[in-house]
Amino acid sequence: MHREKFIERTLLLLALSSIGSLALITIFIFLEGFPLILATGLKNFILSSHWAPTKGHFGILAMIISSVLVTLGAMVLGVPLGLSCAIVLAEFSPKRLKMVLKPTLELLAGIPSVVYGFLGVVWLVPPIRNYLGGPGLSLLAGSIILGIMILPTVISISIDALTAVPDLYRDGSLALGATRWQTVRRVVLPAASSGIITAIILGMGRAIGETMAVIMVAGNALQIPTSILDPVRTLTSNIALELGYAAGRHREALFATGIVLFIIIMILNLSATLITRRR
Amino acid sequence: MRLDPHVSQSLVKALLWTLTGFTLLILVFIIVDISVKGLPQVTPGFLSQDPTDMGRAGGIFATIVATAYITALAILLASPLGVGTAIYLTEYTREGWATRIIRFGSECLAGVPSIILGLFGFVLFVMKLGFGWSVLSGGLSLAIMVLPIIIRTSEEAIKAVPRDYRTACYSLGMSQWQTVTRVVLPSALPGITTGIMLSVGRSLGETAVLLFTAGAALRTPVSLFDSGRTMAVHFYILAREGLSMPNAYGTAAVLVISILLINVTAYTLMQRLMKRYS
């Protein structure tokens, strides 16, 4: 009996490792970055786009805007494409085919982000430069690569949401004479909407947090873009590009950038969890 | 004018299938491009020689060693934690506030982007604890990254083991711990292995975390405190600095093909487990 109690305690301790790690991450990122936000003032930090860390200017507005735009761009490509795949797999394909297609599409998730970035540089950037103009390394290139990278997230969560809709709903609609597509559009999609929204939100989280691929294809210029062909530097790229040599306040500013990113991601994840739970 | 529902259905279906085909095409394109340009580079010499001249020439041996070293360390650290968490969640407690907090932690951890983990590993392991850019700092940071994967997969695998197995054990007078170690874990082993393999796959491809925790030294790491450049980091540096296109493609081929093989095997294992108990 005594032994069992001891085992239970030990397992509980192990089980606290994930929440413990999360707490440590939060604490250390905030400890490093928060003093700088206090010193600069939150308003100057997130509402100014003057970033000259060696001269004491820490404004990250341009990067926030770039991150948001590149993410929105990724959604424009990734959501329709991902949802189409999910609808086809869940509603229109024979079971056998689905058993093959679903894991195949999930392989996209295993491809490392540096490989996506590299292929973007090789296959995407030159045609953008030659046919559309600009440097090629651009908001557009970043959006396309991120749009592809979020596909596995969008597809697998949407499929789960669609398959969770009871067949009774479909049968009822079909029995009333609706076609399969009418059933999907009027019955299945509305019933699965909260799951699909979760898929989209988690896809956004992935896109805004992605680093390596964006560094490689988005051009990294510090500016508020005026066209989709402009090069941009996102929050994540800025951290990764400068952490290697930053020191002192400059390094603190990068951790402060990390705080902003962390908060955005946590808000996205929390809303996804809340939406799922309500269902 | 209204389209006949059957006509519009055909149109929509054609469109959806086209988009799905397009997505599959992207995957095929990635694999074919990397294989066609990369595999010819992958000779025995490429795998067994160290990089020379910053990676412009030579092979990738040192980076394979660093990758194996860091990944093994991460898995060794994360597996007991992850499997232990899964056992606790499934066998030792009821749904309540404790499980909710643990699941919440694991879910949030899964959503933390790798650059944030890189920042964290850099400040805690590299700076504060003084491990420097090293295999140890890299392994610890990766362990945190893959922990949620191991927890989720192990939990799923343990849950798939039928209730009856446990009831039978208890009726034979076995303790809970005996039931877990002698019956539940062995039955769930293929699923737990899946989680570990997926974690290996994830570790192989990771770059942002390791760039700031393990560093990019091109020597073969020996001690835990040596810096090591993994294949993914090496590939990033080759590609970004335009050092050598052929070597970049060769490294990418080794990387992508090993990850795909690992993921396919992991998936097959899990399918087999689920089929056996469903």
Q: How confident is the model at residue A86 (pLDDT cuts 50, 70, 90)?
A: very high
ipTM score of complex: 0.93
In this structure, the answer to whether residues B138 and B16 fall within a common structural domain is no
Regarding whether B71 and B32 lie in a shared domain, the answer is: no
For residues B120 and A20, what is the distance between their CA atoms, to the nearest angstrom? 13
pLDDT at A275: 87
The confidence score (pLDDT) of residue B5 equals 87
CATH number, domain of B48, equals 1.10.3720.10
**C-alpha span between A147 and A124 (Å, rounded):** 13
Task: Please give the average pLDDT of every successive group of 10 residues along chain B, which has 278 residues.
Answer: 84 95 96 95 90 86 95 97 95 86 91 95 95 96 97 93 90 90 92 94 95 91 92 94 90 96 92 81
Extents of the domains making up chain A: 61-278
Q: Where are the alpha helices (DSSP H) in chain A?
A: 2-15, 17-40, 42-47, 61-87, 95-106, 113-119, 125-127, 139-149, 151-163, 167-175, 180-183, 189-191, 193-209, 212-217, 235-243, 248-278
Please tell me the number of Cα atoms within 13 Å of A268 on its side-chain side: 24
- Integer Cα distance of A64 and A75 in angstroms: 17
B84 with B154, same domain? Answer: yes
Sorting pLDDT into bands at 50, 70 and 90, what band is A1? low
Chain A nearest CA to B146, separation (Å) = 10
- Count of structural domains, chain B: 2
**Looking at the structure, do residues B29 and B163 belong to the same domain, yes or no?**
no
Half-sphere exposure of residue A225: CA atoms within 13 angstroms, side-chain side: 28
pLDDT tens for each residue of A197-251: 999 999 999 999 999 999 999 999 999 999 999 999 999 999 999 998 888 999 9
B182 and B82 together in one domain: yes
Which residues from A are below 8 Å from B121, CB to CB? Answer: none
Residues B24 and B149 in one domain: no
B139 in the same domain as B234: yes
* Pair B114, B207 in one domain: yes
Nearest-neighbour CA in chain A from B222: distance (Å): 24
From chain B, the residues in CB contact with A28 under 8 A are 120, 123-124, 128
Q: Please tell me whether residues B15 and B121 are part of one structural domain.
A: no
Verify that B46 and B34 share a domain, yes or no.
Answer: no
- What is the per-residue pLDDT for B1? 61
Domain A61-278 has CATH 3.30.300.340: no
Question: Same structural domain for residues B16 and B145?
Answer: no
Domain coverage including residue B27: 5-40
Q: Is residue A48 scored above 60 in pLDDT?
A: yes
Contacts 24+ apart (CB under 8 A), A217-220: A217/A117, A217/A120, A217/A121, A217/A124, A217/A125, A217/A137, A217/A138, A217/A141, A217/A142, A217/A145, A218/A66, A218/A70, A218/A137, A218/A138, A218/A139, A218/A141, A218/A142, A219/A135, A219/A137, A219/A138, A219/A141, A219/A142, A220/A137
Residue A197 has a pLDDT of 95
Q: Does B129 touch chain A (CB under 8 A)?
A: no
